Amino acid sequence: MNDAQKSRTVWLVGGLHALTHVYQVALIPLYLLIQADFHLKSKGEATLLVTLMNLAYYVPSYPMGMLADKLSRKKLLAIGLLINGAAFVGLAMAPNYAVAIVAVMLAGFGGSFFHPAATALIAGLFPLNPGRALGLTGIGASVGFCFAPLYSGWRAQAGSWRTPVFELGLMGVAVAVVFWILGHEEQARAGSAREMPEDRLFPTPVIWFLFIVAAFAFCARDFTGNGVSTMGSLYLQQARGYNTWQTGMALSCIFAASAISNPLFGHLSDRGRMGWAGAVLTVAAILVAAFPHIPPAGIIPAFLVYGFFFMASYPIVEAALMESVPAGVRGRVFGLWITIGGLVGNLAHWLSGSWVESIGA
């Protein structure tokens, strides 16, 4: 694959990255509308939909990593987005809460195809500077995270929560078909680790232990990020009087600046991963602690600065993880990594909703 094809692949994968994360956050400004539509007793039941979707997203990640180490990554990416988009169309038509649960879990399953295949593919194409390449594909995540609450909040304000969900679902189906037609297969490399994957992920129990400890440590990062978005949505609507459009616009600010910080810090981290990861997460943690004390006029600027640093940690850590293991096991290693992080980190949506409910008026 020549340089032009590699560049095209990066941007195509970035487009899929955008839609994958659109579905993860599109429902966050819509909690109160969903609660009213399905006559749910608590906000926790509404926020549980996002937790269940993301649990279904992360639980299959290791098997998806196994497939990514053996099968066509292009086809896995297209099929996953097709399932994800079609499930959102089904969610928009759900007649009751039980059907909505099935739809969001199917959407999450479709999303689980993306990261193991995409991360292993990009790291393999750019072995000398994976931080920069993953940072570029991370722009897609920034766009998706930013666009989804903005769009869903706006469209729901004009109609119902079902309108943006249906439209975003159709968008995913269409892009999956386009990617299937225009995307490039990764070239087979005779005798490569891709064709002869390792039997074991890690050679010693000590490395296994360090991997598990690191994965659980970064669960805290994921839990915080998910908690900030869900609690931010409920806080803005209940304590600050925001409507769904204003809430979506505010939440989108968390992700807007990351379109700059992801490639910037990803590139800088090619000269030192851990220092940059520690720096961006420290700044983000300070801002999280400060949020309850920020006056209304400072909320959006605070979200922008928080997102600039917090989201930049992802390409840095992913590049470090991919560099630390052989190419033949990258799909499985990343799949196991996000399975652990996803199971714990995404409990934040449900727990945050239940916590807010317990506070009362």
Q: What angle do CA 143, 146, 152 make, to 5 degrees?
A: 120
Measured distance CA(130)–CA(204) in Å, rounded: 25
> CA 354 from chain center: how many Å?
22
Determine the pLDDT at residue 186. Answer: 59
Determine the pLDDT at residue 2. Answer: 63
Determine the pLDDT at residue 189. Answer: 40
What radius of gyration, in Å, describes the C-alpha atoms of the chain?
A: 20
**Token pair listed for 343:** 């199971």
Measured distance CA(114)–CA(121) in Å, rounded: 11
The top-level CATH class assigned to 3-359 is mainly alpha
> Could you please report the per-residue DSSP string of 252-303?
HHHHHTHHHHHHHHHHHGGG-HHHHHHHHHHHHHHHHHHGGGS-GGGHHHHH
Instruction: Give helix then strand counts, H and E, for the chain.
Output: 17, 0
Judge whether 346 and 229 are in contact, CB under 8 Å. no
Specify burial of residue 99 (Cβ count, 10 A radius: 0-12, 13-18, 19+). Answer: middle
Judge whether 103 and 87 are in contact, CB under 8 Å. yes
Residues 6+ apart with CB under 8 A from 94: 100, 103
Measured over the CA atoms of residue 190, residue 194, residue 197 and residue 201, the dihedral's sign is positive
Determine the pLDDT at residue 190. Answer: 35
One digit per residue, the tens of pLDDT, for the chain of length 361 reads: 666 667 777 788 888 888 888 998 899 889 889 999 999 988 889 988 988 998 898 888 888 878 877 877 888 899 999 999 999 999 999 999 999 999 999 999 999 998 888 877 777 677 666 666 777 777 787 788 888 888 998 899 877 899 999 999 999 999 999 888 876 665 554 334 444 445 577 888 898 899 989 888 888 898 998 888 888 888 888 888 888 888 888 888 888 877 788 778 877 777 778 888 889 999 999 999 998 888 888 888 999 999 899 988 888 888 888 888 887 787 788 788 888 877 788 788 888 888 888 887 7
